[in-house]
Chains A and B, each alone.
Chain A
Amino acid sequence: MSVPVGNALHQDNYLTHGKGWKSWLFTLDHKRIGVMYLISILASFLLGGVFALLVRMELWTPQRTIMDANTYNQMFTLHGAAMIFLFIIPGIPAALGNFILPLMLGAKDVAFPRLNLLSYYLWVVGAVFALVSIITGAVDTGWTFYTPYSTTTNTSVISITFGVFILGFSSIFTGINFIVSIHKLRPPTMTWFKMPLFLWSLYGTALIQILATPVLGITLLLLLAERALGVGIFDPALGGDPVLFQHFFWFYSHPAVYIMILPAMGIISELVATFSHRHIFGYKFIAMSSIAIAVISFLVWGHHMFVSGQSNLANLIFSILTFLVAIPSAVKVFNWVATMYKGEVELATPMLYALAFLFLFGIGGLTGLFLGALATDVHLTDTYFVVAHFHYTMFGGTAIAFFGGLFYWWPKITGRMYREKWARMAAFLIFIGFNTAFLAQFIMGAQGMPRRYYNYLPEFAPYHKVSTIGAFVLAVGFVLAAATLLHSLYAGELAPANPWGAATLEWHTSSPPPHENFETQPVPGDPYDVDQWVYDAAAGGYVLAPAGASGGRA
């Protein structure tokens, strides 16, 4: 089997195949759809980031700093909604997953290319509805849209919830596409336990997407009906029950946190294996823990409602089940650490993100246990402790893994290498900035600083100042990262087919891949058999070792 060694920029590749904006907007190529998603999602991240900086600036002083209380409420709502529904939920599956999944399968496309394009446009329409609400009266309910406030506030709840409803369909269609692709387009020789772990995690994610998202859909529909028609399902004055909204909402939104973290864990599995230059340790445990997480995630939603008045028995059960989630999560962490042990760890940029993930997600997951314990949660709920917890998991976990994956697959997607030094610098700044911003929040949260407050007691001011400074360091880190990537597009060296020495199939084709993904159909083997690959200075990357020769890192 021949594997392309050099780059393919001069040849016909998916970027040059078809010209003009129409060839992009109407494309059915999963790679181009992935790139369109990537751009849109990064734009949302930028937008959400600007809102975040505004929120942090307001919190610089205990009183008014730059905006009034109402604007502040709108800012944190928009920040949360943009980050969750526009960036982090679709982020890894729809952008990176779309690009990589068929390549990892050795397939030409996802099972339903048209559905794939439809789901992209649904994302766009949903985003437009959500963002239009900024003009028509930015919502001030928080991203959770709790009733009864969301049915009484005079802001554009209808527009934003309808937007999120549509985004949900986009997510469902991506999930359907991935499940069917993995079932039906897997080459016969790639058995389930020969699949790359990223695919396992996308599969688990897709399961949650299709099983949980419809419930969010009906919840939002009910909220819309409540606001537009006054059906009263959630309105006590009409015999309804507002706590039912919370049950519905968290029945989706807790599993949704695993829609976010599972694909991130998949990326980390790839990064850790590749940059330890060693076969992944405990493959089956990592794979099955993805599925275990997907299953358990449906049974713990009540841990967001410990103080909502649900019965003590329910609290007890939800608490126990919540502790269970920690087990498969920890199984993964131990296996990653075991993979690095005695490996040849190479501190390339993606690996820096992977290490940051291990550290930050470790903190995020462990503080989840504090919150899952009933007595401590009563004290900590609705404080900055919760805010810090979910930023350590969602940002420190998912977003960090997303950027790790972006730097990892960037050469494959664009055909260009970025400046390693700048990229490492950016990763470092992000890590420092992140911890500065959010460790302070754990402390003030434990001391009783409530979340979502506009004014606060002066004794919390130092923590808020530290946190705001951290947020700006973080922002500088991201600007540098963005500059590095943009710079590579114009001035980066051409990327080899396999710059890192990974063994999964996407590295068996040129960078960027041709329109039909592979010149010659690759033969799937063990996705972590990295020893087959040797570094070839002439090619600037890794090539398959000649038969019989022992491979490995030069």
Chain B
Amino acid sequence: MHSGHAQVAHHFPSVRAQFEAGKLGMWIFLATEILLFGGLFCAYAVYRANHPEVFIYAHRYLDKVLGGINTAVLILSSFTMAWAVRAAQLSQSQRLVRLLAATIACGFVFLGIKYVEYEHKWKEGLLWGKRFKPTHQERVVEKDVPPPRPLTDVNPEERSTLPLPAPPPAGLARPEESTPVGGVVPKNVQIFFSVYFLMTGLHGLHVIAGMIVLTWMLWRARQGEFSAAYFTPVDLAGLYWHLVDLIWIYLFPLLYLIH
């Protein structure tokens, strides 16, 4: 990397062509990122369509407040990022450095809150697949009772003809605990937590990657590399960061706000 002014690599006819090539490349890369997550969204859709009761039941164990705060934090970081790009375009190097730092700070807040959430799940044993060992549930589990009142149309042959189970004896379930739908825990709750950890985990890795890139930008900005004549890297890093935010904007309602 050289510092200073705009440079054109020998195989580009002009700065502009080089800038446009970089942008196009980045957009294509973002498309591949969306497709990478696409697989997970697809898995989500399949399991949710087949087992809505699992999702309805299990999502209550997620902390809406913390999730909401995190959403706000990321939206704020998108804002500081966009402003940073603007600052680079206007050659305001001081401001650029501060805004990049602010964006990275938002990333740390996000990860911190995510850590609190994960730790909580860990303690409660609300983990993925094989590791799913809820600490507080045994009393209400009634394994062989099929889920009552499916929310979407289920193949009638698969719907149970058994009557709803009797409510559990009073005093066994602590009142402050969320009573599962119809008083029954659906089967295979772990699949929700598998999906939850896979989606948020992969997203978290992307946040970390984005923060590394932004730190690199911060370092280069402090060397005074960026100006109105040359700001492509900041612009591209910004696009990446916005994508990471955007994915969270989808993850939040899909995982935390299920009706």
B173 to chain A minimum Cβ distance, whole angstroms, is 24
Residues in A339-358 with C-beta less than 8 Å from chain B: none
Choose one: B31, B131, B188, B194; the contact of A210 (CB below 8 Å). Answer: B31
Query: Which of A185, A215, A225, A233 has most chain B Cβ within 10 Å?
Result: A233
Q: Is the CB of A238 within 8 A of B25?
A: no
Q: Is the CB of A233 within 8 A of B24?
A: no
Residues in B1-38 with C-beta less than 8 Å from chain A: 9-12, 17, 20-21, 24-25, 28-29, 31-33, 35-38
Interface status of A109 (Cβ within 8 A of chain B) = yes
Interface status of B259 (Cβ within 8 A of chain A) = no
Interface status of A18 (Cβ within 8 A of chain B) = no
Q: With A221-B202, A239-B187 as given contacts, are A108 and B128 in contact (CB-CB < 8 Å)? A: no
Q: With A184-B21, A230-B130, A232-B129 as given contacts, are A176 and B43 in contact (CB-CB < 8 Å)? A: no
B17 to chain A minimum Cβ distance, whole angstroms, is 6
Q: Which B residues are CB-close (under 8 A) to A111? A: 11, 21, 25
Q: Which B residues are CB-close (under 8 A) to A172? A: 29, 32
Interface status of B83 (Cβ within 8 A of chain A) = no
CA distance A112 to B9 in the complex (A): 9
Q: Which A residues are CB-close (under 8 A) to B171? A: none
Q: With A180-B24, A213-B32, A219-B39 as given contacts, are A238 and B11 in contact (CB-CB < 8 Å)? A: no
B209 to chain A minimum Cβ distance, whole angstroms, is 13
A91 to chain B minimum Cβ distance, whole angstroms, is 21
B33 to chain A minimum Cβ distance, whole angstroms, is 7
Interface status of A421 (Cβ within 8 A of chain B) = no
Interface status of B247 (Cβ within 8 A of chain A) = no
Interface status of A547 (Cβ within 8 A of chain B) = no
With both beta carbons as reference points, the residue of chain A lying nearest to B38 in the complex is identified as A215
Q: Is the CB of B36 within 8 A of A214?
A: yes
Q: Which B residues are CB-close (under 8 A) to A185? A: 11-12, 17, 21
Choose one: A183, A184, A222; the contact of B39 (CB below 8 Å). Answer: A222
CA distance A263 to B42 in the complex (A): 30
Q: Which B residues are CB-close (under 8 A) to A215? A: 35-36, 38-39
CA distance A238 to B40 in the complex (A): 17
Q: Which B residues are CB-close (under 8 A) to A231? A: 128-130, 194, 197-198
With both beta carbons as reference points, the residue of chain A lying nearest to B40 in the complex is identified as A218
Q: Is the CB of B32 within 8 A of A233?
A: no
Q: Is the CB of A233 within 8 A of B17?
A: no
Interface status of B207 (Cβ within 8 A of chain A) = no
Q: Is the CB of A108 within 8 A of B11?
A: yes
CA distance A26 to B78 in the complex (A): 36
Interface status of A321 (Cβ within 8 A of chain B) = no
Interface status of A24 (Cβ within 8 A of chain B) = no
With both beta carbons as reference points, the residue of chain B lying nearest to A229 in the complex is identified as B128
A12 to chain B minimum Cβ distance, whole angstroms, is 16
CA distance A289 to B21 in the complex (A): 27
Q: Which B residues are CB-close (under 8 A) to A239? A: 47, 51, 54, 187-188, 190-191
Residues in A151-207 with C-beta less than 8 Å from chain B: 172, 175-177, 179-180, 183-185
Interface status of A472 (Cβ within 8 A of chain B) = no
A505 to chain B minimum Cβ distance, whole angstroms, is 15
How many chain B residues touch A (CB < 8 A): the figure is 39
Q: Is the CB of A112 within 8 A of B39?
A: no
Q: Is the CB of B36 within 8 A of A217?
A: yes
Main secondary structure of the interface of A (DSSP, over half): helix
Interface status of B46 (Cβ within 8 A of chain A) = yes
Interface status of A235 (Cβ within 8 A of chain B) = yes
Interface status of A211 (Cβ within 8 A of chain B) = yes
Q: With A232-B190, A232-B194, A233-B198 as given contacts, are A238 and B38 in contact (CB-CB < 8 Å)? A: no
CA distance A226 to B197 in the complex (A): 12
Q: Which A residues are CB-close (under 8 A) to B11? A: 102, 107-111, 113, 185
Interface status of A248 (Cβ within 8 A of chain B) = yes
Q: Is the CB of B33 within 8 A of A180?
A: no
Q: Which A residues are CB-close (under 8 A) to B17? A: 184-185
B129 to chain A minimum Cβ distance, whole angstroms, is 3
Q: With A215-B38, A218-B40 as given contacts, are A184 and B131 in contact (CB-CB < 8 Å)? A: no
Q: With A214-B38, A221-B202 as given contacts, are A230 and B129 in contact (CB-CB < 8 Å)? A: yes
Residues in A108-154 with C-beta less than 8 Å from chain B: 108-113, 115
A119 to chain B minimum Cβ distance, whole angstroms, is 12
Q: Is the CB of A180 within 8 A of B25?
A: yes
The 8 A CB mask of B219-258 against A (1 = contact, 0 = none) is 0000000000000000000000000000000000000000
Residues in A226-272 with C-beta less than 8 Å from chain B: 226, 229-233, 235, 238-241, 244, 248
Residues in B150-205 with C-beta less than 8 Å from chain A: 187-188, 190-191, 194-195, 197-198, 202
- Using C-beta atoms within 8 Å of the partner chain, give the interface range for chain A: 35 or more
A209 to chain B minimum Cβ distance, whole angstroms, is 9
With both beta carbons as reference points, the residue of chain A lying nearest to B42 in the complex is identified as A248
CA distance A120 to B165 in the complex (A): 61
B43 to chain A minimum Cβ distance, whole angstroms, is 6
Q: Which A residues are CB-close (under 8 A) to B38? A: 214-215, 218
Q: Is the CB of B130 within 8 A of A248?
A: no
Query: Which of A110, A112, A183, A232 has most chain B Cβ within 10 Å?
Result: A232
With both beta carbons as reference points, the residue of chain A lying nearest to B35 in the complex is identified as A214
With both beta carbons as reference points, the residue of chain A lying nearest to B131 in the complex is identified as A230
Residues in B34-60 with C-beta less than 8 Å from chain A: 35-40, 42-43, 46-47, 51, 54
Q: Which B residues are CB-close (under 8 A) to A221? A: 202
With both beta carbons as reference points, the residue of chain B lying nearest to A516 in the complex is identified as B10
Q: Is the CB of B129 within 8 A of A233?
A: yes
Choose one: B28, B37, B197; the contact of A180 (CB below 8 Å). Answer: B28
Q: Which B residues are CB-close (under 8 A) to A217? A: 36, 39
Residues in A377-419 with C-beta less than 8 Å from chain B: none
Q: Which B residues are CB-close (under 8 A) to A233? A: 43, 129, 191, 194-195, 198
B12 to chain A minimum Cβ distance, whole angstroms, is 8
CA distance A185 to B24 in the complex (A): 12
The 8 A CB mask of A508-533 against B (1 = contact, 0 = none) is 00000000100000000000000000
User: What are 14 sample pairs from A and B whose C-beta atoms fall under 8 A apart?
Assistant: A111-B11, A112-B25, A172-B29, A176-B32, A179-B28, A180-B24, A183-B21, A213-B32, A217-B36, A218-B39, A219-B39, A230-B129, A231-B197, A233-B191
The chain B residues found within 8 Å of chain A, CB to CB, are 9-12, 17, 20-21, 24-25, 28-29, 31-33, 35-40, 42-43, 46-47, 51, 54, 128-131, 187-188, 190-191, 194-195, 197-198, 202
Instruction: Known A-B contacts: A214-B39, A233-B129. Give 10 more (CB < 8 A).
Output: A107-B11, A108-B11, A113-B11, A172-B29, A184-B21, A218-B37, A219-B39, A229-B128, A229-B130, A238-B130
